[in-house]
Amino acid sequence: MRKSWFTVLTLLVLALVVSACSGGNNNNGNTASPSASPTSSSASEPAASGEAKDGGNLIIAVGADPVILNPIYAGDRVSLTIDQALYAPLFQVNNGEKTFYLADSLEPSADNLTYTLKLKSGLTWHDGQPLTADDVVFTFEKILDESQNSMFRENLIIGGKPVQAVKVDDTTVEFKLPQVNPAFEATLVQLTPIPKHIFENEANIEKSTKNAAPVGSGAFKFKEYKTGEYVTLERFDNYFGGKAHLDSITYRIAKDTNAANLALQNGEINVKYLDPQDVATIESTGKFDIQAYSEGRLAYLLFNEKSDTGALAKKEVREAISYALNREELIQVVYGSADYADPAKSFVTPDGLFHTNDVTSYDNDAAKAKELLSSAGVSNLKLRFIISSGNKAQEAAGLYVQQKLKDIGVTVELQSMDASAYGQKFVDLNATDYELSYAGYIMGYDPDAYRILYQSDANSNYAKYKNEEVDKLFDQGAGEADPAKRGEIYKQLQEIIAQDAVIYPAAYTKTIVAIDKKYGGLDEAVLKPVVIFEDPSKLYLK
Amino acid sequence: MRQLIARRLLQTIPLLFFVSIACFALVKMAPGDPVLSFVTPNMHAEDIERIRHNLGLDKPAYVQYWLWLKELFQGNLGYSLVNHQPVMDQILDRLPATAGLMGSAILLAVLLAIPLGLTAGANRDRWPDKLVNLFSYIGISVPLFWLAILLIYLFAIHLHWLPSMGMRSIGVNSAMDVLKHGILPCVVLAFGFLSVYVRYIRSSTIGQLKEEYVQIQYAFGSTKKTIVFRHVMKHVLLPVITLLGMSMADLVAGAIVTETVFSWPGIGSLGMTAVKGMDYPVIMGITLFSALFLILGNLLADILYGLADPRIKGAR
């Protein structure tokens, strides 16, 4: 009797385990579409560029699960990459030229306070519903709604007041700005409409289950998401820009770089970011196009002027440190080759408007560095350099700076810390227990974005730099509608900040991507920082 | 025995309570701030405070813990701070992948460890023992991620027998396909478990061979082979039950390194992401799950022990 009781209990526990497992299976089923029917390429018309064929699948490696496939929340690289194919943007800007997607035109009024956005006519969402001005206005309102936690909200607040979006007719929206703001166009680039008919009754869009099966407007529509495995998108036949060549794109989640490189060589992945040290191995297979392109990012040495020793508050000391370093050497040490980074002199990246590298640059001169230090009456200087442990670029840069500063009699102590501790310290404007760090930023193409880094009271003034003239110039630049005058202002700013040695601009870094040679159309698809391809509909299987 | 089970199940409650407090305290004491993953450089301090408030992270730690506990009593593990999906769903979503992989790895390891351990123990200090020892030392010392990369290189890149990563081919939903993807990670994990199990079984065999009943069997004229594989094995299986009980936690906690290398969509890689993002509801959920399974596993082991060895049953 007793014995059978135990058997029952044992079985019960086992049953619990089993049912927990099968419960998981059901859950899996909810997010995925029922069957994997291969999409038969329906009588494809001859493609525009002769050699481009239709059909096929492309597999892009991504480093993690997407956080959320909703463009008003997407801030991580993976979500942004997938959203680029899933949701069409209004327009994109490359080298100052606009490429229109959902939008047909964007015109500022004579006083530059109203922007009129015209949408293309006959746009539809992936579920067949029309995409109209209502969706654009809805998206705008949800971003501004404080309870929705969208991280783009700040971009729509100008001088403390929100931008207003007003529907004129089904394809026209007017944006009314509280004050002149040429950078508003750069804001619109990031603003991707979400479907009103899907989300209008959702109290909390961020938590909405509708994000699990997103309805977009891009060249590819959502097909399947297997958590931790992959996201598959398939061709959307009613795409306004013409049907995509590929049948589908799969974003395969590959967390381990070494294993993913092997999968790339094995053909289980077709497109993948590469680290400089892996390029030679992948290139030697002869199966990949290796592209290195600017990612619009500046890597720089940060000078914390407000440290408790106050060592870097003196301009001469910052100048001396800059003179002690050599950009070409640093690039060689940190990035392995001059192919993967360009020497940087301005705080504005080369893709930015009004960028100039023709500014004071403190080129390597150790004698001058020593002279500056002694004339400033500084000796036995000790500096603390913080590093996020495991970050190879930071570690290499730290060692390089330590070595070079030793030559001019400055001791650098490297302090390695956990990534989250580092992040917290770096953004804390009251952190005074370090002087140096090797950091980077991507700010977009409009130079107004940089004010948050260099104005005295800005939220991200990590250098704790204070200069009233710079504050004033940034304010002027933000409200100046005349491009020529605006250009002058930002040229002046670049020179002042370079002269003051606020940071040591080191390198404009590049992204390296390997693309299987089976695929064509890379030029038309446009390689782009963060998202890899601006318009993946143009890719095709050779 | 019934009392034992009731008592042990009751003990589970305060135990889980302490585990959850310890885990919560550790996460809160660790450097880092989950709000940072929502912050963009152009946000004002007020915006950051608003997000902190919306996420409930502006309350004192003990209030946050209390709120979490209250939800737990309603069977709710809360929402991830990063992707805002229910924690329970995320864990259940990944449980089959982890339980399947770990379960088969443990099973494979045990099935191999028993004959190998017995043989090694019975031939102490002779060549079979030395060979088994060598392999188990290698298994314990070699980093599993290295072994994984080696096997991928050999079987996926070089021989093209097996896929190198993931749990499924894209768009394919068949058991065979999952099985094929599972072979390499399963072998890697089994090798790790095997190396440990073998050593337990070997030393337990050596101990048993000194027992009187073995001498008696010899006196009856049984061969060594019969003694080891019929009589000694029964006794050696007892510690194996304990080992298996302890492994119940692995069954739900997964293996961080192996899952990451093979991009296996299990709980280990979920936990890794959660720790990186300071996503404490997910960290707490996974910890609680594995603690619960560890306790249940031990209880199950004790019960099976009682069934297998009446002496122990009497003692309780």
**B40 close contact with A: CB closer than 8 A:** yes
Other Cβ atoms within 10 Å of B137 Cβ, number: 12
Distance of alpha carbon A488 from alpha carbon B153, whole angstroms: 57
**B6 close contact with A: CB closer than 8 A:** no
Q: Name the amino acid, one letter, at B273.
A: T
In this predicted structure, the answer to whether residue B254 has a pLDDT above a threshold of 80 is no
CB contact under 8 A, A10 and B304: yes
Distance of alpha carbon A283 from alpha carbon A512, whole angstroms: 12
- Percent share of chain A, pLDDT over 90: 63
- The average pLDDT across A331-343 equals 92
**Residues 45 through 84 of chain A touching chain B, CB cutoff 8 Å:** 57, 59, 64-65, 67-68, 75
Contacts of B100 in chain A (CB under 8 A): 21
pLDDT digits (tens, 9 = 90+) for A108-142: 999 999 999 999 999 999 999 999 999 999 999 99
Judge whether B243 lies within some domain.
yes
Q: What is the per-residue pLDDT for A51?
A: 66
Q: What is the per-residue pLDDT for B312?
A: 64
- The average pLDDT across B243-257 equals 79
CA distance readout (Å), A116 to A104, A108, A124, A215:
11, 6, 21, 26
**Coil, helix or strand at residue A416:** strand
Quickly state the pLDDT bin for A25 (edges 50, 70, 90): very low
Quickly state the pLDDT bin for B179 (edges 50, 70, 90): confident
pLDDT digits (tens, 9 = 90+) for A396-415: 999 999 999 999 999 999 99
Quickly state the pLDDT bin for A206 (edges 50, 70, 90): confident
Torsional class of B160: left (φ above 0), alpha (ψ -120 to 50), beta (otherwise) = left
Contacts of A270 in chain B (CB under 8 A): none
Quickly state the pLDDT bin for A49 (edges 50, 70, 90): very low
Number of structural domains in chain B: 1
- The average pLDDT across A94-101 equals 88
C-alpha angle with apex A84: A356 to A274, nearest 5 degrees? 65
CA distance readout (Å), B2 to A3, A160, B8, B304, B308:
11, 69, 10, 13, 17
**Coil, helix or strand at residue B105:** helix
- Give 3-state DSSP helix, strand, coil % of chain A, rounded to 5: 35, 25, 40
Judge whether B283 lies within some domain.
no
CB contact under 8 A, B32 and A421: yes
- Percent share of chain A, pLDDT over 70: 91
**Coil, helix or strand at residue B108:** helix
DSSP state of B40: -
Q: Which among B40, B93, B153 has CB closest to A27?
A: B93
- Closest residue in chain B to residue A75, using alpha carbons only: B38
Distance of alpha carbon B257 from alpha carbon B185, whole angstroms: 10
- Closest residue in chain B to residue A451, using alpha carbons only: B42
Domain boundaries, chain A: 296-512
**Coil, helix or strand at residue A541:** strand
> Facing residues of A540 across strands?
A520
- The average pLDDT across A264-275 equals 92
CB contact under 8 A, A266 and B39: no
CB contact under 8 A, B300 and A153: no
User: pTM of this prediction?
Assistant: 0.83
How does DSSP assign A90-131, residue by residue?
Answer: SEEEETTEEEESSEEEEEE-TTSSEEEEEEPTT-B-TTSPBP
C-alpha angle with apex B60: B59 to B65, nearest 5 degrees? 95
**Residues 129 through 148 of chain B touching chain A, CB cutoff 8 Å:** 145, 148
Distance of alpha carbon B261 from alpha carbon A390, whole angstroms: 17
Other Cβ atoms within 10 Å of A411 Cβ, number: 12
Q: What is the per-residue pLDDT for B42?
A: 64
- The average pLDDT across B132-136 equals 89
Closest-CA distance, B66 to chain A, in angstroms, reads 22
Q: What is the per-residue pLDDT for A20?
A: 36
Q: What is the per-residue pLDDT for A532?
A: 93
**Residues 138 through 167 of chain A touching chain B, CB cutoff 8 Å:** 146-147, 149, 151, 153-155
CB contact under 8 A, A459 and B273: no
CB contact under 8 A, B168 and A59: no
Quickly state the pLDDT bin for A4 (edges 50, 70, 90): very low
CB contact under 8 A, A38 and B171: yes
Judge whether B203 lies within some domain.
yes
Closest-CA distance, B286 to chain A, in angstroms, reads 14
End-to-end CA distance of chain A: 72
Structure tokens at A42: 């329906």
DSSP state of B229: I
Backbone angles phi, psi at A69, to 5 degrees: -90, 60
Q: Name the amino acid, one letter, at A232.
A: T
The CATH fold assigned to A296-512 is Dipeptide-binding Protein; domain 3 (3.10.105)
Structure tokens at B114: 């028993």
What B13-19 contacts at long range (C-beta under 8 Å, 24+ apart), as own/partner pairs, is B15/B291, B15/B295, B16/B288, B16/B291, B16/B292, B16/B295, B19/B287, B19/B288, B19/B291
Nearest Cα to Cα of residue B105 among B35, B190, B174:
B190
In this predicted structure, the answer to whether residue B41 has a pLDDT above a threshold of 80 is no
Quickly state the pLDDT bin for A39 (edges 50, 70, 90): very low
Q: Which among B30, B156, B263 has CB closest to A254?
A: B263
Asked whether the beta carbons of A42 and A236 are under 8 A apart, the reply is no
**B99 close contact with A: CB closer than 8 A:** yes
In this predicted structure, the answer to whether residue A34 has a pLDDT above a threshold of 60 is no
> CATH number of the domain that B155 lies in?
1.10.3720.10
- Best mutation site among A230, A287, A454 for testing chain B: the one with the most B CBs within 10 Å? A230
Closest-CA distance, B91 to chain A, in angstroms, reads 8
> Facing residues of A165 across strands?
A175
Quickly state the pLDDT bin for B222 (edges 50, 70, 90): confident
DSSP state of A173: E
Q: In angstroms, what is the C-alpha Rg of chain B? A: 24
Nearest Cα to Cα of residue A519 among A60, A48, A11, A6:
A60
Nearest Cα to Cα of residue B102 among B299, B258, B262, B292:
B258
Quickly state the pLDDT bin for A14 (edges 50, 70, 90): very low
pLDDT digits (tens, 9 = 90+) for A192-205: 999 999 999 998 89
Asked whether the beta carbons of A142 and A71 are under 8 A apart, the reply is no
Computed over every residue of chain B, the mean pLDDT equals 84
Nearest Cα to Cα of residue A116 among A130, A104, A134:
A104
Torsional class of B278: left (φ above 0), alpha (ψ -120 to 50), beta (otherwise) = left
Judge whether B311 lies within some domain.
yes
CA atoms within 13 A on the CB side of A52: 21
CB contact under 8 A, B165 and A228: no
> Facing residues of A91 across strands?
A100
Asked whether the beta carbons of A302 and A463 are under 8 A apart, the reply is yes
CB contact under 8 A, A10 and B95: no
> Facing residues of A440 across strands?
A299
Q: What is the per-residue pLDDT for B313?
A: 57
Residue A135, C-beta contacts closer than 8 angstroms, at least 6 positions apart: A193, A194, A195, A196
Q: Which among B30, B42, B145 has CB closest to A154?
A: B42
CB contact under 8 A, A256 and B273: no
**Pairs of residues, one from chain A and one from chain B, whose beta carbons lie less than 8 Å apart:** 186
In this predicted structure, the answer to whether residue B217 has a pLDDT above a threshold of 90 is no
CB contact under 8 A, B41 and A28: no
- The average pLDDT across A37-55 equals 50
In this predicted structure, the answer to whether residue B123 has a pLDDT above a threshold of 50 is yes
Asked whether the beta carbons of A449 and A186 are under 8 A apart, the reply is yes
How does DSSP assign A346-387, residue by residue?
Answer: SSS-TTSTT----S------HHHHHHHHHHTT--S-EEEEEE
Distance of alpha carbon A468 from alpha carbon A456, whole angstroms: 7
In this predicted structure, the answer to whether residue B209 has a pLDDT above a threshold of 90 is no
Q: What is the per-residue pLDDT for B221?
A: 78
Distance of alpha carbon A414 from alpha carbon A426, whole angstroms: 15
> Facing residues of A176 across strands?
A114, A164
Quickly state the pLDDT bin for A23 (edges 50, 70, 90): very low
In this predicted structure, the answer to whether residue B52 has a pLDDT above a threshold of 60 is yes
Judge whether B173 lies within some domain.
yes
Parent domain of B144: 90-270+307-315
Q: What is the per-residue pLDDT for A424?
A: 82
Distance of alpha carbon A523 from alpha carbon A516, whole angstroms: 14
**A457 close contact with B: CB closer than 8 A:** no
Asked whether the beta carbons of A136 and A192 are under 8 A apart, the reply is no
Task: Tokens 């959660």: give the residue.
Answer: B274
DSSP state of A44: P
- The average pLDDT across A469-486 equals 92
Q: What is the per-residue pLDDT for B139?
A: 85
Distance of alpha carbon B238 from alpha carbon B211, whole angstroms: 15
Judge whether B276 lies within some domain.
no
- The average pLDDT across B280-297 equals 87
In this predicted structure, the answer to whether residue A469 has a pLDDT above a threshold of 80 is yes
Asked whether the beta carbons of A222 and A66 are under 8 A apart, the reply is no
DSSP state of A400: H
The residue with greater pLDDT, B170 or A235, is: A235
Handedness of CA B9, B11, B17, B22 (dihedral sign): negative
Q: What is the per-residue pLDDT for A217?
A: 94
Distance of alpha carbon A18 from alpha carbon A26, whole angstroms: 13
Other Cβ atoms within 10 Å of B136 Cβ, number: 22
Computed over every residue of chain A, the mean pLDDT equals 86
- Closest residue in chain A to residue B173, using alpha carbons only: A36
Q: What is the per-residue pLDDT for A178?
A: 92
- Closest residue in chain A to residue B43, using alpha carbons only: A154
- The average pLDDT across A436-463 equals 90
- The average pLDDT across B296-306 equals 82
Burial A86-121 (b: 16+ CB within 10 A, else e): bbbbbbbbeeeeeebbbbbebebeeebeebebbbbe
